[in-house]
Amino acid sequence: MKNKKIYIGIVVVLLLMIVIWKFFSGSSSEGFDIMADVKKGDFRVEITSSGELEALKSVEVLGPLEARRFRVNNITIESMVDEGTVVKQGDLIAELDKSEMFGRIEDRRIELDQSRAQYEQIQLDTSLVLRQERDNMINLEYIVQERKLVLEQSQFEPPAIIKQNGYNVEKAIRDLEQANDRYKVKILQEKARMAEVAARVREYENELAQMQEVLEKFTVRAPQNGMVIYQSGRGGKVKEGSQISAWNPVVATLPDLSRMRSVTYINEVDIRKIKVGQKVEIGLDAFPDKRLTGTVTRVANIGQQRPNSDAKVFEVMVEVNESDPTLRPAMTTSNTIIVNKVENVMHVPLEAVNVHNDSINYVFLKNGVKQEVLLGMANLNDIIIESGLNEGDRVFLSTPEFAKDAPVKLLPELNGKRIEIYNEAAGIKAEEEKDAPNQTRRRGNQ
Which of 354, 446, 357 has the alpha carbon at shortest distance from 403?
Answer: 354
Give the C-alpha separation, 340 to 43, whole Å: 8
From first to last of the 446 residues of the chain, give the pLDDT tens digit. 445 556 566 655 666 666 554 444 444 444 457 899 999 999 999 999 999 998 888 888 888 888 888 888 888 888 889 888 888 889 999 999 888 888 888 888 898 888 888 888 888 878 888 888 888 888 888 888 888 888 788 888 888 888 888 888 888 888 888 888 888 888 888 888 888 888 888 888 888 888 888 888 889 999 888 888 887 766 677 788 888 887 888 888 888 888 999 999 999 989 999 999 999 999 999 999 999 999 999 999 998 888 777 788 999 999 999 988 888 888 999 999 999 999 999 999 999 999 887 778 999 999 889 999 999 999 889 999 999 999 989 999 988 888 888 888 888 887 756 655 555 544 544 454 454 444 444 444 44
Residue 50 is predicted with a pLDDT of 93
Task: Annotate 321-358 with three-state secondary structure.
Answer: CCCCCCCCCCCEEEEEEEEEEEEEEEEEEHHHCEEECC
Q: What angle do CA 225, 227, 231 make, to 5 degrees?
A: 115
Q: What is the CATH number of domain 60-97+218-253?
A: 2.40.50.100
Give the C-alpha separation, 72 to 352, whole Å: 71
Type of residue found at 74:
N
Helix or strand run (H / E) with residue 313: strand 312-320
Give the torsion through C-alpha atoms of 296, 300, 305, 306, to 10 deg.
-30
Q: Would you say domain 46-56+257-343 falls under CATH 2.60.40.1120? A: no
Q: How do 243-245 and 74-80 pair as beta strands? A: antiparallel
Residue 131 is predicted with a pLDDT of 86
> pTM of the prediction?
0.58
Residue 431 is predicted with a pLDDT of 53
Q: What is the DSSP string of 35-75?
A: EEE-EEEEEEEEEEEEEEEEESSEEEEE--GGGGGGT--EE
- Summarize the chain as % helix, strand, coil (round to 5): 45, 30, 25
Give the chain's length: 446
Region for 372 from its dihedrals, namely left if φ exceeds 0, alpha if ψ lies in -120 to 50, beta otherwise: beta
Residue 445 is predicted with a pLDDT of 44
Residues 6+ apart with CB under 8 A from 446: none
